Amino acid sequence: MTILDDAKALQGDLVRLRRVLHAEPEIGLRLPRTQEKVLAALEGLPLELTTGSVLDSVTAVLRGGLPGPAVLLRGDMDALPVTESTGLEYASRIPGHMHACGHDLHTAMLVGAVKLLCARRASLAGDVVFMFQPGEEGYDGARLMIEEGVLEAAGARPVAAYVLHVTLGQSGTGVFRTRRGPLLAASDSVRVTVRGRGGHGAAVAVVVRFIGHRPRSLPQGTWRAG
Ligand SMILES: [Zn+2]
């Protein structure tokens, strides 16, 4: 059996898990029902499990059968404040909550990775830390999990961390895109205060001309004057 055969054998269970996660989305750092479903999906596997205290995270460590460095795999689990109107049979049952960013998929996919790697434990060189993270959508969940020790969960610090994000309509099904170095940077915003001499737009020569002086470090498109 190849790893692809094993993955295909898990597909039905993972689709079901993704749909129950999708039907009951939770927002922010407290995801008790999501955490419960993840813990149930991991039951009986050879893992060292810990849960968060200030957030409903799950950290699972798999000890490889051979010596090697630890690596970390991360999946985010939180939903968005959106009301779903797809009419799908597994659509969100919670008004104002929806897995509109695909984190239900990430959670189910990470469970799939746990199962595939657990089945190959004997030939695994090194440990794997699985990081099920709440609060990706602006709640600083990763920092809180780091403060609660996810990077020390296996003993030695992971030498690498891997994460993926699904997209819609940007690539064909089955296509993975990546690059060297860091990927999936956070989007953020900056507040700029301009102090100077105001005036009428028709007399720009005598006022501080602000528009047009975009700092080079800010990419086009994120810049708004006013
Ligand atoms: Zn997302």
Q: How close is the Cα of 102 to the center of ligand 1, in Å?
A: 6
Q: What is the DSSP letter of 139?
A: S
Res. 197: pLDDT tops 90: no
Radius of gyration of the chain (CA): 22
Lowest pLDDT segment from 15-29, 121-135, 138-152, 187-201: 187-201
Interacting residues of 57 by C-beta distance below 8 A, sequence separation 6+:
35, 51, 131, 132, 133, 134, 141, 144, 145, 148, 150
Q: What is the mean pLDDT of residues 61-78?
A: 98
Q: How close is the Cα of 103 to the center of ligand 1, in Å?
A: 6
Confidence of residue 159 (pLDDT cuts 50, 70, 90): very high
The confidence score (pLDDT) of residue 217 equals: 56
State whether residue 98 is helix, strand or coil: strand
Q: How close is the Cα of 106 to the center of ligand 1, in Å?
A: 9
Q: How close is the Cα of 79 to the center of ligand 1, in Å?
A: 8
Q: What are 100-116's pLDDT values in tens digits? A: 999 999 999 999 999 99
Nearest to 98 by CA among 116, 85, 79: 79
Q: How close is the Cα of 193 to the center of ligand 1, in Å?
A: 30
User: What strands, in cross-sheet order, belong to the sheet with 71-76?
Assistant: 48-51, 58-62, 128-133, 71-76, 160-163
Q: What is the mean pLDDT of residues 142-164?
A: 96
What b-and-e string marks burial along 162-183, b requiring 16 or more CB atoms within 10 Å of the CB? Answer: ebbeeeeeeeeeeeeeeeeeee
Q: How close is the Cα of 178 to the center of ligand 1, in Å?
A: 16
The confidence score (pLDDT) of residue 164 equals: 92
The confidence score (pLDDT) of residue 210 equals: 63
Q: What is the DSSP letter of 5?
A: H
Q: How close is the Cα of 167 to the center of ligand 1, in Å?
A: 9
With residue 23 as reference, give the H or E element that holds it. Answer: helix 3-23
First-to-final CA distance of the chain: 61
With residue 43 as reference, give the H or E element that holds it. Answer: none
Structural domains of the chain, with CATH? 3-163 (3.40.630.10)
Report which of residues 205 and 141 the model is more confident about. 141
Retrieve residue 25's tokens.
Answer: 């989305």
Give me the percent of the chain exceeding a pLDDT of 70: 91
The confidence score (pLDDT) of residue 180 equals: 86
Q: What is the mean pLDDT of residues 7-16?
A: 97
The confidence score (pLDDT) of residue 218 equals: 53
- Chain-centroid distance of CA 197 in Å reads 45
Judge contact between 129 and 71, C-beta under 8 A: yes
Q: What is the DSSP letter of 216?
A: T
Interacting residues of 88 by C-beta distance below 8 A, sequence separation 6+:
none
Give me the percent of the chain exceeding a pLDDT of 90: 73
Q: How close is the Cα of 19 to the center of ligand 1, in Å?
A: 17
The confidence score (pLDDT) of residue 226 equals: 37
Lowest pLDDT segment from 51-55, 181-185, 188-192: 181-185
Q: How close is the Cα of 202 to the center of ligand 1, in Å?
A: 44
Q: How close is the Cα of 186 to the center of ligand 1, in Å?
A: 10
The confidence score (pLDDT) of residue 117 equals: 98
Q: What is the mean pLDDT of residues 209-224?
A: 55
Q: How close is the Cα of 110 to the center of ligand 1, in Å?
A: 14
Q: How close is the Cα of 195 to the center of ligand 1, in Å?
A: 37
Confidence of residue 223 (pLDDT cuts 50, 70, 90): very low
Q: How close is the Cα of 205 to the center of ligand 1, in Å?
A: 45
Q: How close is the Cα of 161 to the center of ligand 1, in Å?
A: 17
Judge contact between 96 and 29, C-beta under 8 A: no
Res. 224: pLDDT tops 50: no
Q: How close is the Cα of 184 to the center of ligand 1, in Å?
A: 10
Res. 225: pLDDT tops 50: no
